[in-house]
Amino acid sequence: SDLDGFIAGLPKAELHLHIEGSLQPEMMFALARRNRIAIPFDSVEQLRAAYTFSRLQDFLDIYYQGADVLRTEEDFHDLALAYFDRAAADTVVHAEIFFDPQTHTARGIPFGVVAEGLLAGMREAEARHGLTSKLILCFLRHLSEDDALATLREAEPWLEQITGVGLDSSELGHPPSKFRRVFTAAGERGLKRVAHAGEEGPPAYVIEALDLLHIDRLDHGNRSLEDEALTRRLAETGMTLTVCPLSNLKLCVVRDLGTHPIARMLQLGLRATVNSDDPAYFGGYINDNYRAVAPLLTRADLAALARNSFEGSFLDQNQIALRV
Ligand code: HPA
Ligand code: ZN
């Protein structure tokens, strides 16, 4: 339709994308074959049918299991390039992608295999599509802070090519305060800082992410709206929220798309953006996410969301002028 054309025509940046969450069932089977690994599903259809979740943890269990097929530098390169090809088709001109090194190093895959594969895919996407990208290293919050500190040390040779650190995985019971020292260390090394907060966790976790982790961007942030003073603070400080509508639907963070808070976020003056989170698991890439919330929004709102994605990116101002 005309609206689909409008969305498809908006240049946009994607700021909340877990590269392991872009692993499509077809590629999972292809990599299992290439690496001679058995996977506990008979077909792509059977695997897709397992993607029904009632909370974040249901998804994480199957997401970590799926990542087991990723073994070689070539696998990480192919994974990244497949995402960038698909993102370019959705008029994404810049992407800041998360990766979860601990998911791989815990299985004996060296940090450098993961990083070099992803970086090669990023370079190839820029040459092929002009799509620029940045890499954000996420710590798994269900693991210890010492494990996160060890991961930051392992990343040391690649830190010039890594823009920032993030915090993901099981939110409830693993508050931002658990990662205060490693986020301080990352800040001292000049890295940007982001964190998932307020997806399933309470507004207090968002406040901890601001005050203790000194985040530059807030991933999800939905439950911030339960706290009026916090909402005002996020608006007044121009904090970017990386919101993921189809993820919120699939993980039951919202009951239905009709009650998604994205319109209210914009009305409250929050710098909200739209992103796909884990597109292979949640049933849609970035334009699908824009389309999912479009009935709640005006065209000016949709254009504002796309503009916010550049304003909230870690590109500098003159790079933004060139990208939009
Ligand atoms: N939340 C927490 N951890 C994650 C997510 C998410 O949406 N996606 C991948 N890891
Ligand atoms: Zn996420």
Ligand closest to Cα of 17 equals 2
Q: What is the pTM of this model?
A: 0.98
Q: Does 277 count as an annotated binding residue?
A: yes
pLDDT per position as a tens digit, 280-323: 999 999 999 999 999 999 999 999 999 999 999 999 988 888 88
CB atoms under 10 Å from CB of 238, counted, come to 12
Q: Does 256 count as an annotated binding residue?
A: no
What is the reported pLDDT for 20?
98
Q: Which two tokens stand for residue 294?
A: 């479009």
Q: Which two tokens stand for residue 286?
A: 């970035």
Report which ligand 1 atom has the smallest distance to the Cα of 247: 7
Q: Does 104 count as an annotated binding residue?
A: no
Mutation probe of ligand 1 site: the residue of 83, 196, 243, 282 with most atoms within 8 A of C-beta: 196
pLDDT per position as a tens digit, 235-286: 999 999 999 999 999 999 999 999 999 999 999 999 999 999 999 999 999 9
Mutation probe of ligand 1 site: the residue of 138, 167, 169 with most atoms within 8 A of C-beta: 169
Report which ligand 1 atom has the smallest distance to the Cα of 251: 7
Beta bridge partners of 193: 165
Distance 2 CA to ligand 2 centre (A): 30
Report which ligand 1 atom has the smallest distance to the Cα of 20: 9
**Count of helix runs (H) and strand runs (E) in the chain:** 17, 8
Q: Does 211 count as an annotated binding residue?
A: no
Report which ligand 1 atom has the smallest distance to the Cα of 244: 7
Distance 1 CA to ligand 1 centre (A): 32
Average pLDDT of span 112-118: 99
Q: Per-residue b/e over 145-183, b at no fewer than 16 CB within 10 Å?
A: beebbebbebbeebeeebbbbbbbbbbeebbbebbbebb
* Nearest residue (CA) to ligand 1, atom 4: 169
Q: Work out the mean pLDDT of the chain and round it to a whole number.
A: 98
| H or E segment and range at residue 145 | helix 145-154
* Domain spans in the chain, listed from the N-terminal domain onward: 2-313
Order of strands across the sheet that contains 240-243 = 12-18, 92-99, 132-140, 164-168, 192-197, 217-220, 240-243, 271-274
Q: Give Cα separations from 175 to 101, 194, 202, 232 (angstroms).
A: 20, 14, 10, 22
CA–CA separation, 95 vs 13, rounded Å? 5
Predicted complex ipTM = 0.96
CA–CA separation, 28 vs 309, rounded Å? 30
pLDDT per position as a tens digit, 22-70: 999 999 999 999 999 999 999 999 999 999 999 999 999 999 999 999 9
Beta bridge partners of 135: 97
Q: Does 77 count as an annotated binding residue?
A: no
pLDDT per position as a tens digit, 185-239: 999 999 999 999 999 999 999 999 999 999 999 999 999 999 999 999 999 999 9
User: How far separated are the first and last CA of the chain, in Å rounded?
Assistant: 23
Residues with a catalytic annotation lie at 199
Ligand closest to Cα of 22 equals 1
Mutation probe of ligand 1 site: the residue of 19, 56, 251 with most atoms within 8 A of C-beta: 56
The answer to whether 313 touches 276, Cβ cutoff 8 Å, is no
What is the reported pLDDT for 318?
87
Q: Reply yes or no on whether the pLDDT at 324 is more than 80.
A: no
Residues with CB under 6 A from ligand 1: 18, 21, 56, 168-169, 196, 199, 247, 277-278
Ligand closest to Cα of 16 equals 2
What is the reported pLDDT for 13?
98
What is the reported pLDDT for 29?
97
CATH number of 2-313: 3.20.20.140
